Structure 1
């Protein structure tokens, strides 16, 4: 019998990636206000005289998503939270949400290179584990992959944005969907760009004493 596994994300790409690896997670979407959480974390860092590192920001959201699901549902399962953001020119970019912002993003990205950061947070909330240790166990890290973008024309950008796909994905692009023709190369983990790094997930699970194949039915 497979180890119970829960994905705290609404992303169909993450779900499809896990399914392609033989894992069928239960899906529960968190209620985290991502913008408010990041604003508070950045303000706290500034008050302490520091800066919130770019690659730490998607992990912060991933952990918050996993924490939210655990706090609300107390599932007898391993819970995975994920979040992805694109780093470009030293700034972190999430989902554009509007066509205007998506077009502006692509005009800045075309012909250039960015880094896609995908944060992963795992909480082993299985009741048997908690009974033996006294608490849930946690592991997490961020997968970072260099992404090279094609030099799109304005017409190509507007046609892609008109599909609606770029509005609700990190960095306003996909590599596994309609945005595939516009990514010329990646340096790193392809699955991390899709949204969940299978190699990193394997490593994090092993740090909690679980082998990846134990998630398969």
Structure 2
């Protein structure tokens, strides 16, 4: 099995560099305050910010980004490992009458809309197609579903995650800066700055520096390195500059240019590592991964690289068995609120490892190649201990069953446990901070090749969670009074499960009040 790589960046260039190299990274944006991080490090070193070299700055920021994401995953893992209570597993496909339940034979589950296979979710031009009529969750509310309960400790052992890994996932943070005539240049942000820079760089050259920080989640070990290359610019015209600025491309990239985009035509040559100019040096990252004791090919998880890695794994297994034959694979310019209200998915929607449809024995398609999970977070009255509110997500119109209310969650990433995935997704979507909650139980709907895990959680005593949309998958995230939940237009699965879920929350609240 490949070792997951987490990219602490939403840069399409870095993601594309990795994808072309056979690695589909999990994207987790760090949200680091870059000026503050550089200023703090300069103060710690006893120097002014202007005294820091270009190389030092990109190394500082690469480390800050990687460590921010590493800490976020540590908090998720700690909350998951500290889970208490029981896991109740429902087996709807074992129930009598399950074959007749539901009405739509092609439905699926989850947040999706993006198919990882050519199963009708992409058109002949490779464009994403969202079929809202094929994404209704199957309703088993009228079926007597068999259930089993087990201690959470046993459930955690049956579904290990990142906290149990011996190596990985590997977290990589990067930052790039262009050094031109002795001045470090970051992103121009405005047309005025871009115009001035592009005019000054015409016919000249500069150095593109990229910092790389790699952290092994399993061990906490860190590698910190940088790459640089000299970029030589052509003699482009003023009209070229205006057209390039009008495209918007140079405004949010280091140095005001791209090598792989429209700007590539204005670059006469690169002396050094070209992938480093794209924001991530493949040769350097390969060496850093090797220093961690991980083979580069163990990161392959897409395309021919994934197939090659699978064949190698199979061959090594045969060899171990003595088989001698084995010697012979959003930024669309609109607000998150506007995007959530649109029925068209955002162009910046990133395909993550684990995204895709599973064709299930129940006759439906479910979102999440590794399954899916979400968090049902409850707030209790300080006086009575009773559950008063739960966090609900008003789903973006472009998502499956758009416009309904459910709980924040989504597809599990490669290598993470259901609880880890639920906590990660709920933070990324709804700002449910794992350090402020305690997991008190789970409900797993098991379909065999796919399962959905609902994670029950309470705010810790003395802690408050401030839920709000962190991305464009929600029109609204809010604390909803328990009595109002059934009055909302609920996601099909949530509508079916709510009566038993609210009853279980009440039981859990009484149990925790007595402790």
After TM superposition, the score normalised by the length of structure 1 is 0.91
Structure 1 runs not aligned, ≥5 long: 131-135
SS of the aligned residue for 2:262 comes to coil
C-alpha separation in 1, matches of 2:297 and 2:248: 36
Which of these residues, 242, 250, 257, is aligned with residue 173 of structure 1? 257
C-alpha separation in 2, matches of 1:6 and 1:47: 32
Q: Does 1:116 align with 2:208?
A: yes
What count of residue pairs does the alignment treat as equivalent? 209
C-alpha separation in 2, matches of 1:40 and 1:5: 28
SS of the aligned residue for 2:285 comes to helix
Q: Residue 41 of structure 1 contacts residue 52 of structure 1 at CA under 8 Å; is this kept in 2?
A: no
C-alpha separation in 1, matches of 2:43 and 2:242: 35
Structure with higher helix content: 1
C-alpha separation in 2, matches of 1:153 and 1:43: 42
RMSD: 1.7
SS of the aligned residue for 1:179 comes to helix
C-alpha separation in 1, matches of 2:236 and 2:44: 39
Which of these residues, 87, 97, 107, is aligned with residue 199 of structure 2? 107
- Measured after TM superposition, the shift of residue 46 of structure 1 is 5.2
SS of the aligned residue for 2:298 comes to helix
SS of the aligned residue for 1:144 comes to strand
- Measured after TM superposition, the shift of residue 42 of structure 1 is 3.6
Higher mean displacement: 148-157 or 164-173: 148-157
Q: Residue 120 of structure 1 contacts residue 196 of structure 1 at CA under 8 Å; is this kept in 2?
A: yes
- Measured after TM superposition, the shift of residue 150 of structure 1 is 1.0
Alpha-carbon displacement from aligned partner over 1:74-109 (angstroms, at most 9, x marks no partner): 273110001110000111111011111111111111
- Measured after TM superposition, the shift of residue 45 of structure 1 is 4.2
Q: Residue 147 of structure 1 contacts residue 185 of structure 1 at CA under 8 Å; is this kept in 2?
A: yes
Q: Residue 97 of structure 1 contacts residue 167 of structure 1 at CA under 8 Å; is this kept in 2?
A: yes
Name the CA shift for 1:201/1:155 in 2 (closer, same or farther; >3 Å): same
Counterpart of 1:5?
5
- Measured after TM superposition, the shift of residue 47 of structure 1 is 4.0
C-alpha separation in 1, matches of 2:246 and 2:43: 35
Counterpart of 1:96?
188
C-alpha separation in 2, matches of 1:100 and 1:164: 12
Q: Residue 45 of structure 1 contacts residue 51 of structure 1 at CA under 8 Å; is this kept in 2?
A: no
Name the CA shift for 1:46/1:112 in 2 (closer, same or farther; >3 Å): farther
- The higher-RCO structure (CA 8 Å, 6+ apart) is 1
Counterpart of 1:192?
276
Matches for 1:1-217 after TM superposition, within 5 Å: 1-45=1-45, 47=47, 51-74=51-74, 76=162, 77-126=169-218, 130=219, 136-217=220-301
Structure 2 runs not aligned, ≥5 long: 78-161, 163-168, 302-515
C-alpha separation in 1, matches of 2:274 and 2:238: 27
